[in-house]
Structure 1
Amino acid sequence: MGMIGTVSRRIFGVRDRVLPGPVAPGDVLAEAADLRVRLGGAEVLKGVDVRARAGEVLALVGPNGAGKSTLLAALAADLPADGGTVTVCGRPAPDWPARELALRRAVLPQSATLSFPFPVEDVVRMGRAPWAGTRREDCDDRIVREAMAATEVGAFAARPFSALSGGERARVALARVLAQRTPLLLLDEPTAALDLRHQELVLRVCRQRAAAGDAVVVVLHDLGLAAAYADRAVVLDGGLVAADGAPGDVFEDKLLSDVYRQPIEVFPHPRTGAPLIAPLRDAR
């Protein structure tokens, strides 16, 4: 079984658990209703309504401090609500036991750190820990290989995680999330440490998971990536939802200029028609 399998059994147990059932396109897999969250005495989210649906990539965008990561953590049931409600797969977030929740949602934090120099393949295999002792454990090897191939980390599978570059670590962390094989994926700035090619790779993976029926919620700073790959975008500003809809509908000059406190122009791509977003700069 190996060390990771042994550890996962100790953490999650070997008792039979209720495995996630099938989901249909459009099913709401995570929802915040009038969500309010306070951190350090400040109200970070001030009554937010958001739904993440199966088969959809939902981008959370907005300036620094808008509440994007806080909202993602609340949808993951990692951060308690001070008001309003959060549901995951139709059940109030606080009611999920950790071992059951881990079968239904996978979370990619902003930074990936490990205290021990695990090989890359073992790090990815950690994503299979929630399935230890279930009938789906037999698929572990195949799923780990597929996750590593999707993120292009197989070439350094034997290298210690601690020896990788920041971008390589980010892709390994994403592979771990993919290996978890949950219907809800919550990704916090997965492209922040990546070069142009791998930014595109990660967003293509997001689209592929949505096409396969998952709900994907991704925090992005790059509005161009959100416009190109997201089915829907929620624009946050000061802990409130400033807009919610298809990027082509909500990415509009005045709204974005107001939210980012920076003149922004939006124009259609000459070939695809997708919105292109750029700061408005003085001509030189």
Structure 2
Amino acid sequence: MRLRRPNPGPPPPPAVGAVLAEGEGVHVRLGGRSVLVGVDIVARGGEVLALVGPNGAGKSTLLAALAGDVAPGGGVVRVFGRPATEWSARELALRRAVLPQSAALSFPFTVADVVEMGRAPYGGADPDEDELAVAEAMAATEVTAFAERSFGALSGGERARVALARVLAQRAPVLLLDEPTAALDLRHQELVLRLCRQRARAGDAVVVVLHDLALAAAYAHRVAILRAGRVAADGPPAEVFEERLLSEVYDQPVEVFPHPRTGVAVVAPRRSP
């Protein structure tokens, strides 16, 4: 007689400062090219970690490696202290939620249907909790008003917010977000980063790929600057957003100065008058 393995439940709430996801000496080759070379990265509960750097630096690949979606050719990725490869797909989904750069669906799902997909790892064990999680995620991302509309009929920015709502509904303690603000207007860019901060305050670890250095400076507790598959700097924005380093990494002269009201670092291209 074979005993059936019970379905794993979600992990207990993480402690602030606990290492929830990490990469140690991560190497990844794609298409015969080294995309990540010996990367060390740590995502802790209670903080927003922004991954920044020029196109092709390896940001999205690093995020996918942390998610367990890309297997490193060298080094190890751990989620909740255990190699990502040792978790089942469902166990991993209960611990980390992933927002890819783009969301495309071939079937005419409604907005509510898409957000409900975030509850799949729970297997319908608590319908009331599922309903509450979906409703809260849709309200937080301001998509409730078009819950019954077809996902395919939405604008790019609306789709991006619905995709984020799906991730929030998953209620995993590690959020891995790949350019969540790329298609959004100014108001909703700020909304998304405020949500990231809220999740961090609740004890979650948030790793977000950003191109907007001003958003990274304003909302990230820590920034990892990637260059050619390596981490060029890792630390608080006020420490790593340095003119010489950023100018070298982006191959573009920049200037960094404090915001006159908040004191947060502002990064801008250096232009001739």
Name the TM-score, length of structure 2 as normaliser: 0.97
Q: Segments of 4+ in structure 1 off by > 6 A? A: none
- CA–CA separation in structure 2 for the residues paired with 1:71 and 1:234: 11
Q: 1:246 to 1:70 in 2, by over 3 A?
A: same
Q: 1:238 to 1:76 in 2, by over 3 A?
A: same
- The sequence identity of aligned pairs, in percent, is 71
Q: What is residue 173 of structure 2 aligned with on the other side?
A: 183
Shift of 1:161: 0.1
User: Residues 193-239 of structure 1, C-alpha deviation per residue, up to 9 Å, x if partnerless?
Assistant: 00111100100010011011110000000000000000000000000
Q: What is residue 235 of structure 2 aligned with on the other side?
A: 245
Q: Give aligned pairs, total.
A: 270
1:258 is aligned to 2:258: no
- CA–CA separation in structure 1 for the residues paired with 2:256 and 2:184: 24
Report 1:141-160 matches (<5 A): 141-160=131-150
Q: What is residue 57 of structure 1 aligned with on the other side?
A: 48
Q: Residue 81 of structure 2 aligns to which amino acid in structure 1?
A: G
User: Residues 154-173 of structure 1, C-alpha deviation per residue, up to 9 Å, x if partnerless?
Assistant: 01001000000000000000
Shift of 1:133: 4.6
Shift of 1:21: 1.6
Aligned partner of residue 117 in structure 2, secondary structure: helix
User: Residues 145-187 of structure 1, C-alpha deviation per residue, up to 9 Å, x if partnerless?
Assistant: 1000000000100100000000000000000000000000000
- CA–CA separation in structure 1 for the residues paired with 2:149 and 2:177: 24
Residues 123 and 172 of structure 1 are in contact (CA less than 8 Å); yes or no, is this contact kept in structure 2? yes
1:119 is aligned to 2:133: no
Q: Residue 58 of structure 1 aligns to which amino acid in structure 2?
A: L
- CA–CA separation in structure 2 for the residues paired with 1:245 and 1:204: 20
- CA–CA separation in structure 2 for the residues paired with 1:203 and 1:45: 26
Q: What is residue 195 of structure 1 aligned with on the other side?
A: 185
- CA–CA separation in structure 2 for the residues paired with 1:282 and 1:138: 59
- CA–CA separation in structure 2 for the residues paired with 1:83 and 1:226: 29
Name the TM-score, length of structure 1 as normaliser: 0.93
Aligned partner of residue 206 in structure 2, secondary structure: strand
Residues 48 and 207 of structure 2 are in contact (CA less than 8 Å); yes or no, is this contact kept in structure 1? yes
Report 1:65-80 matches (<5 A): 65-80=56-71
Q: What is residue 128 of structure 1 aligned with on the other side?
A: 119
Name structure 1 gaps, 5 residues minimum. Answer: 1-12
- CA–CA separation in structure 1 for the residues paired with 2:18 and 2:143: 32
1:173 is aligned to 2:163: yes
